[in-house]
């Protein structure tokens, strides 16, 4: 493993929360904002664990709420860095819910958060490379550059014609359609 690198597994964080009345909406389901807050915390810890630096949230990809999480359920949030760039890193979060009375478990959400490591003055600072080891980690790592380019385009920080990874995908799809 290169000197300035860390395995993805070392950034893994698992956080567990109990949905209490103060966390719920009038339907007794977890408020979306509370879940996003927990997601930001768990992913920031993963990013700090990887970079050994203070990190700030740079972007949050789409968060869709597939199923409501009820009052009294246990929420487990698992986060780990998928890929590190110069000073930024992408973190993947998986949220599951469990009803302890029935034993029912389901995945509620998945999302990607991006963090930037900063120095004491708040300026971006370089971080170690993230090294994927498992098949899932490698798949997430491979897709991270495409997701990053899409974020940069949507944030108007990259021109679409400069997104080589995204263009390659569309070329492959064009070729499949032609066949």
- Residues 30-39 have pLDDT tens digits of 999 999 999 9
Report the C-alpha gap between 169 and 177 in whole angstroms: 13
Average pLDDT over residues 69-90: 97
Q: What is the largest CA-CA distance in the chain?
A: 56
- pLDDT at residue number 159: 73
Report the C-alpha gap between 64 and 68 in whole angstroms: 11
Read off the pLDDT of residues 108-131 as tens digits, 9 standing for 90 and up.
Answer: 999 999 999 999 999 999 999 999
Superfamily of domain 5-131: Hotdog Thioesterase (3.10.129.10)
**Burial (CB count <10 Å: 0-12, 13-18, 19+), residue 164:** exposed
pLDDT at 170 over 70: no
Residue pair 49/10 in contact by the 8 Å Cβ criterion: yes
Where exactly are the structural domains of the chain? 5-131
Read off the pLDDT of residues 142-159 as tens digits, 9 standing for 90 and up.
Answer: 999 888 877 777 777 667
What is the pTM for the complete model shown?
A: 0.86
């Amino acid at each position: 493993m290169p000197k300035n690198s860390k395995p993805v597994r070392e950034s893994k964080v698992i956080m567990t929360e109990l949905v209490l009345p103060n966390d719920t909406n009038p339907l007794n389901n977890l408020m979306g904002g509370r879940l996003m807050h927990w997601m930001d915390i768990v992913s920031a810890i993963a990013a700090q664990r990887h970079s050994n630096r203070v990190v700030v949230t740079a972007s949050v990809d789409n968060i869709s709420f597939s199923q409501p999480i009820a009052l009294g359920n246990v929420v487990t949030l698992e986060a780990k860095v998928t890929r590190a760039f110069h000073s930024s890193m992408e973190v993947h979060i998986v949220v599951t819910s469990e009803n302890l009375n029935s034993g029912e478990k389901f995945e509620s959400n998945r999302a990607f958060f991006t963090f930037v490591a900063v120095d004491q003055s708040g300026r971006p600072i370089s971080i170690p490379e993230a090294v994927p080891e498992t098949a899932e980690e490698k798949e997430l790592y491979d897709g991270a550059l495409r997701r990053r380019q899409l974020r940069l385009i949507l944030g108007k920080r990259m021109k679409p014609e400069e997104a080589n990874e995204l263009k390659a995908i569309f070329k492959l799809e064009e070729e499949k359609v032609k066949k």
